[in-house]
């Protein structure tokens, strides 16, 4: 029988986590809702209490519904010891960081990180006596120059939130490993299908499963997958903080996972078509898409990633926030809202400059983040063309 790591990722997402003892003969693992678990005898209860991680013990420790999803996500990261689930991506980030940091430690955090992650460092870690220093997302191996005696962990997000710089993850991990420093990454954009982070040297990889794993904009979910050296600390921290995912949400995550490969490929194709068209429009100054040569760190994407997904941004050619608002409000096929990763296309005004501290963000005009869903790309392009043509007609969008 072939080793499960030998099969292609598209096959792995179908088979992973579907153990017969959990599915009971049906295709999908049933939804097990539980708080109290009943035991036949006190001896059985005591036996479960002695090893609560590998059997039904108490609802907060999970049932086959949660175990199935966690097992499947672990299977997508060869070299991983296990996965813990969380009620959101932010909770996953918090538990991952708290499992490796203690008072007196320093965390190196990429300057292009998700703003709620930055807020967690400021509002939770700092009062605990854990310092955070932000670094240039394109630092690569030069990050070693930033290490201090108390540097305990390096946090990456690649591509970066809002601005999509692709980091040199293997170089950063190699530099950190040489100093015994833990590495973490928010891998939500690529998922393990397009970037198996542990295989590139990362110790703990984080997903906001709310996005592409769930894939239908109807559940909140997060996960952290860890190598053996860090999994037990992650599990212990998770249980001590009472983190738990409802079985119904875990089931929605498992449902989404089965179609992840085909959805990502459709997101990829549509987003590339839209991004390449945007590059040709006079109302657009620059497109920030990791698969395009103009994106910072594109060479790292080309070397390390198996594909690209549906999220990217573009800078308008001049104009102000009011022009950006008119552009977005006038779109017919793009929703306006936070998050992304569902079947629907979204447009959002974003402003990275005020939250940067280690690097300065400059662009020719306001930034618009797009998530390209599963609609026909030609319809999305026509929609954007109408809006950008109006913008150019206003006189603010002519390229020099």
**Residue among 148, 165, 147 nearest 156 (CA):** 165
- Burial (CB count <10 Å: 0-12, 13-18, 19+), residue 291: buried
Q: How many Cβ atoms sit within 10 Å of the Cβ of residue 52?
A: 15
Is 114 catalytic? The answer is yes
Q: Is 42 left (phi over 0), alpha (psi -120 to 50) or beta?
A: alpha
- Could you tell me how far CA 137 lies from the centroid of its own chain? 16
Q: What is the bridge-based pairing of β-strands 106-110 and 131-135?
A: parallel
Residues 137, 113: Cα–Cα separation, whole Å: 9
Is 212 catalytic? The answer is no
For residue 153, the cross-strand partners are 107, 182
- Which one of the listed residues 12, 61, 152, 211 is annotated catalytic? 211
- Which one of the listed residues 186, 249, 304, 383 is annotated catalytic? 186
**Residue among 308, 323, 332, 319 nearest 381 (CA):** 332
For residue 346, the cross-strand partners are 335, 371
**Residue among 290, 312, 313, 314 nearest 303 (CA):** 290
- Which one of the listed residues 60, 179, 236, 303 is annotated catalytic? 60
Coil, helix or strand at residue 131: strand
Q: Is 148 left (phi over 0), alpha (psi -120 to 50) or beta?
A: beta
Cβ-proximal residues to 188 (8 Å cutoff; 6+ apart), any chain: 89, 206, 207, 208, 211, 212, 341
- Which one of the listed residues 61, 86, 105, 114 is annotated catalytic? 114
Largest CA distance in the chain: 80
Is 186 catalytic? The answer is yes
Is 58 catalytic? The answer is no
Q: At what angle do helices 247-258 and 64-75 cross, to 10 degrees?
A: 40
**Residue among 314, 304, 32 nearest 194 (CA):** 304
Helix (H), strand (E) at residue 60: none
**Residue among 186, 184, 6, 175 nearest 90 (CA):** 186
Contact 317, 397 (CB under 8 A): yes
Coil, helix or strand at residue 108: strand
Catalytic residues: 60, 114, 186, 211
């Amino acid at each position: 029988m072939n080793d499960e790591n030998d099969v292609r990722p598209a096959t792995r997402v179908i088979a992973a986590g579907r153990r017969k003892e959990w599915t009971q003969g049906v295709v999908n693992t049933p939804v097990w809702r539980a708080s109290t678990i009943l035991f036949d005898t006190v001896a059985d209860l005591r036996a479960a209490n002695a090893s609560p991680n590998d059997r039904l013990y108490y609802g907060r420790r999970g049932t086959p519904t949660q175990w199935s999803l966690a097992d499947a996500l672990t299977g997508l990261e060869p070299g991983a010891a296990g996965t813990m689930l969380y009620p959101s991506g932010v909770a996953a980030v918090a538990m991952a960081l708290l499992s490796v940091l203690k008072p007196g430690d320093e965390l190196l955090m990429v300057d292009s990180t998700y703003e709620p992650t930055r807020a967690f460092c400021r509002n939770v870690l700092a009062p605990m006596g854990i310092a955070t220093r932000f670094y240039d997302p394109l630092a690569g191996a030069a990050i070693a120059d930033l290490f201090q005696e108390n540097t305990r962990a390096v946090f990456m997000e690649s591509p970066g939130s809002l601005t999509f710089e692709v980091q040199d993850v293997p170089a950063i991990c190699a530099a950190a490993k040489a100093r015994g420093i833990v590495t973490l990454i928010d891998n939500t954009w690529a998922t393990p299908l397009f970037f198996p982070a542990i295989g590139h040297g990362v110790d703990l990889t984080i997903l906001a499963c709310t996005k592409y794993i769930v894939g239908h904009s109807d559940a909140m979910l997060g996960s952290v997958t860890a190598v053996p050296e860090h999994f037990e600390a992650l599990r212990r921290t998770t249980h001590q903080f009472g983190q738990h995912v409802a079985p119904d949400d875990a089931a929605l995550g498992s449902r989404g996972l089965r179609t992840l490969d085909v959805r990502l490929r459709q997101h990829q194709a549509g987003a590339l078509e839209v991004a390449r068209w945007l590059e040709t429009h006079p109302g657009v100054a620059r497109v920030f898409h990791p698969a395009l040569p103009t994106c910072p760190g594109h060479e790292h994407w080309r070397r390390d990633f198996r594909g690209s997904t549906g999220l990217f941004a573009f800078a308008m050619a001049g104009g102000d926030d009011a022009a950006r608002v008119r552009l977005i409000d006038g779109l017919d096929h793009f929703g306006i809202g936070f998050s992304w990763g569902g079947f629907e296309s979204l447009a959002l005004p974003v402003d990275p400059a005020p939250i940067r501290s280690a690097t300065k963000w400059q662009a020719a005009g306001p930034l618009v983040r797009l998530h390209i869903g599963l609609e026909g790309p030609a319809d999305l392009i026509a929609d954007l063309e109408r809006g950008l043509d109006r913008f150019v007609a206003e006189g603010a969008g002519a390229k020099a």
